[in-house]
């Protein structure tokens, strides 16, 4: 695990230096500061994004897996934008793009009736309407003293 982190650190350093040489020191600083501000802003707005994910779950457009994926991708994308470096910024933007994809295109699939979690639901219970019929004549007959 430590070897993988060390390799990622050197890859990040190499790519960041190459991009810095290509675009210049000033633009590198602008890039780093802008992505840090964007990541901080997204992290600050994360409670609203998470509530939006849960509301789409309540409306039946997301299932539990989509809520988890969208929430984790949003949080990790915001955190990766805060970390300075080109690779982490690209990975953070990719995760935020995945979250956007889930919100735009995951709602197109057909809504299933079993999206909502009901611990008492059984197979075939999705189309049942529970109705109680009260017969007025029987009630009047029961109230008469002669019966």
Which domain, by its residues, includes 52? 24-110
Alpha-carbon distance 79 to 100, whole Å?
Answer: 16
pTM to 2 decimals? 0.65
Tell me whether residue 11 is in a domain: no
Tell me whether residue 138 is in a domain: no
Q: What per-residue confidence (pLDDT) applies to 68?
A: 81
Alpha-carbon distance 145 to 52, whole Å?
Answer: 60
Domain count of the fold of the chain: 1
Tell me whether residue 104 is in a domain: yes
Tell me whether residue 10 is in a domain: no
Tens-digit pLDDT profile for residues 97-138: 998 888 787 665 555 555 455 556 566 556 666 667 776 665
């Amino acid at each position: 695990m430590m070897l993988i982190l060390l390799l990622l650190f050197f890859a990040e350093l190499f790519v960041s230096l190459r991009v810095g040489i290509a675009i210049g020191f000033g633009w590198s600083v602008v890039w780093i500061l802008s992505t840090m501000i964007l990541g901080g802003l997204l992290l600050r707005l994360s409670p609203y994004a998470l509530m939006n994910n849960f509301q789409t779950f309540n409306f039946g457009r997301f299932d539990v897996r989509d809520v988890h994926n969208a929430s984790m991708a949003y949080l990790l994308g915001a955190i990766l934008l805060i970390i300075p470096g080109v690779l982490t910024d690209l990975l953070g933007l990719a995760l935020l793009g995945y979250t956007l994809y889930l919100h735009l295109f995951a709602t197109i699939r057909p809504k299933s009736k079993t999206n909502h979690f009901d611990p008492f639901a059984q197979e075939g219970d999705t189309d049942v309407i529970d109705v109680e019929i009260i017969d007025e004549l029987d009630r009047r007959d029961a109230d008469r003293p002669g019966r």
